[in-house]
Amino acid sequence: MANEGPAAHRPPLLWEQHCCLPLRRQADVGELARYRRPGGSFVSVNVGYVPHGAADVTGLITSWRQRIAEDHRLRPAGSVEDIEAAARAGDVAVAFDLEDSGPLEGRLDRVRRFYDLGVRTMLPSYNTRNAAGGGCLDLTDEGLTAYGRALVREMNAVGMVADGSHCGARTGLEMCEVSEQPVIYSHSCMRSLWDHPRNITDEQARECAATGGVIGITGVGIFLGPNEATAEALVRHIDHAVGLVGPEHVGVSTDYPFDHEDFNTMLAQSPELFPDSYTRWGPIDFMPPEDLLTVDDALRARGYPDDAVTAILGGNFRRVAAQVWQ
């Protein structure tokens, strides 16, 4: 693939804005090669959330970066130029994201530290309220705290993308007010199409787009519908989002957990830890990388023109990265 023709003739870049390896230092990073495709791929991998401290995240990234660099199919990506180089070579470019600001342990200087380690996206809060703001499972979302507002401003200054997925609606809207850079919802579906607390409202989508951001429609069955992790269900949510904000503000992001069997076992053994909106359908279905690779064909079958397919599949998230990353 390194000797292929001009980039204009390659299939569009696939940008998977959020997936999850097991949060262990010896997790099989080679699983990320399942995203390889003509045209190239970028994958953002979660490296921590609520249970993790700064040392946990640092150790995980250090281990994973070394083994990513040693895998001939993968490349660490710190810049858009790195991603384009990986695409030309047919490799999968990899960066990291944090699903909660807790690993900062209250220290805003760690935003820069994690950015330097390869974290390019971070959520202020994960499902429930923390020091930064409210979560989507809170009965009342009181919005960003003063610390949360300072966090968003620090992320802007450093070049890390602010992400409203898992946050409460008010917290997400206030992120869009505070941020001077595009805000994204990396892995969230549309609530008016399927009423789940993890999905976002039309207002959230519009305010996200107003910042120049992107809504990444996710491949989790219970967020797409009644446990329906299919390309058809994903495209229905894409259709709704495109109708609201246009194809230039919509992307894809499966939230695929490579340890999904372990997650579903925990769900079955400890259902009291999760609300009914997570447990009522039994084991949760997730869209694997192989199914995500079919979404461009599904969009074309729906009548989307090539430029819209290119934007949704990866061009929109690439645009945000080119604007925000430093």
Task: Please write the tens of the pLDDT for every residue from 66-118.
Answer: 999 999 999 999 999 999 999 999 999 999 999 999 999 999 999 999 999 99
pLDDT band at residue 9 using 50, 70 and 90 as cut-offs:
low
| Overall average pLDDT of the 129-158 stretch | 97
Torsion sign over Cα 32, 264, 25, 161: positive
User: Residue 3 pLDDT > 80, yes or no?
Assistant: no
For the chain, where are the alpha helices, taking DSSP H only? 54-70, 80-89, 109-117, 146-158, 169-178, 202-210, 221-224, 231-245, 260-269, 276-279, 289-292, 295-301, 306-310, 316-324
Counting residues of the chain whose pLDDT is more than 90, the rounded percentage is 94
Beta bridge partners of 183: 162
Q: Rounded distance, CA 182 to CA 294, Å?
A: 28
Under 8 Å between Cβ of 163 and 186:
yes
What is the Cα–Cα distance from 153 to 131, expressed in whole angstroms?
15
pLDDT digits (tens, 9 = 90+) for 225-273: 999 999 999 999 999 999 999 999 999 999 999 999 998 998 898 888 8
pLDDT attached to residue 103: 98
Distances (CA, A) of 54 to 108, 295, 310: 12, 36, 36
More confident residue, 8 or 161: 161
Q: What are phi and psi of 305, to 5 degrees?
A: -70, 165
Between strands 161-163 and 183-184, the pairing is parallel
At 7 the pLDDT is 46
Instruction: Record the pTM.
Output: 0.95
